[in-house]
Amino acid sequence: MTRRHEGDHKQLLEFVAHHGATDAAPVKTIHDIVRVKEPGLEKRLFVDWYQRTSLLDHFLHPDTKIDDFYRCQYGEQGDFIKTGYQVDIMEDKHPQIRLTRLGSVWMGDQKNMVSVEKTLSLTDAKEWQVVYRIQNVHGPVCLMWFGCEMNLAFSSQDKQDPIEHLQQTQWLRRDHGYGLALKAQFDLPMDLWEFPLETVSLSEEGFERTYQGTMLLAHSKMSLQPGQVWIRSWRIGVHPE
């Protein structure tokens, strides 16, 4: 699902540099015929600087907007995205995997040592749960904006642009192609950002958007005193539509 730079993008960008935006007409010519199936595709050539997987742990810059995150042009206050976690497999009532990491989160020039622990449990064949424990291990009081990113593959796209949902206890996405519905249920209300992950590629009919999946970011702001722990959990389940 990761959006990468593709060689064909150069052709589209060269056209825009020489002839202006593609909003004016659907078909124009440069060295070869440059066809676009919709106007403005050159404005959607976003490139991700990290791999789009699930349960990615963000500590967002306080000025981040949903459009910044959609474009993958925003600031991280932590160092948890491109680093490894310690993995422990545990046996309880349900199989569990615990992922832990001690890293850094900055608040301006202030650096705090923060631990992130997330425990995944397969509660049944159709549902799994994650429990987060985030602790301010070392440093003064720290204001943090935490977000857990999940990237989900559906058979078709249902939205074109980023959408924000405030203070939600659940998120539901139906997949009519498979006749299923995916539901995320949160123990306490969380703010959600949602947008489609699309790549721009060249087909026989011209440049077009291709749906890869849907990004869901569950995020919350917190203020942790020294030693204080933030604990939250949610369940993800797939059920008949």
Place of tokens 């077009």: 208
Please give the tally of structural domains in the chain: 1
* Spatial distance between the Cα atoms of 229 and 232, rounded to a whole number of angstroms: 10
pLDDT in tens, 151-176: 999 999 988 899 999 999 999 999 99
Whether 3 maps to a domain, the answer reads no
What does the pLDDT look like over 73-85, one tens digit per residue?
999 999 999 999 9
Evaluate whether residue 135 is within a structural domain.
Answer: yes
Q: Is the per-residue pLDDT at 190 higher than 60?
A: yes
* DSSP letter assigned to residue 92: S
pLDDT tens-digit map of 92-133 = 777 899 999 999 999 999 999 999 999 999 887 789 999 999
**pLDDT of 241 higher than 90:** no
Q: Give long-range contacts, CB 8 A cutoff, 24+ apart: 174-182.
A: 174/241, 175/241, 176/241, 179/240, 179/241, 180/238, 180/239, 180/240, 180/241, 181/238, 181/239, 181/240, 181/241, 182/152, 182/154, 182/236, 182/237, 182/238
CATH code for the domain in which residue 57 is found:
2.70.98.10
Q: Within a domain: residue 117?
A: yes
Whether 144 is in a domain gets the answer: yes
- pLDDT exceeds 90 at position 196: yes
What pLDDT digit, counting tens, does each position of 28-75 carry? 444 355 667 677 776 777 889 999 999 999 999 999 999 999 999 999
Structural domain for 115, as ranges = 9-240
CB atoms within 10 A of CB 2: 16
Contact 199, 95 (CB under 8 A): no
Side chain identity, residue 120:
L
Q: Is 190 part of any domain?
A: yes
Q: What is the pLDDT of residue 27?
A: 46
Residue 22 pLDDT > 90:
no
pLDDT at 16 over 70: no
Mean pLDDT of 6-31: 56
Residue 209 has pLDDT above 50, yes or no: yes
166 within some domain = yes
Residue 141 included in any domain: yes
In this structure, is residue 1 part of a structural domain? no
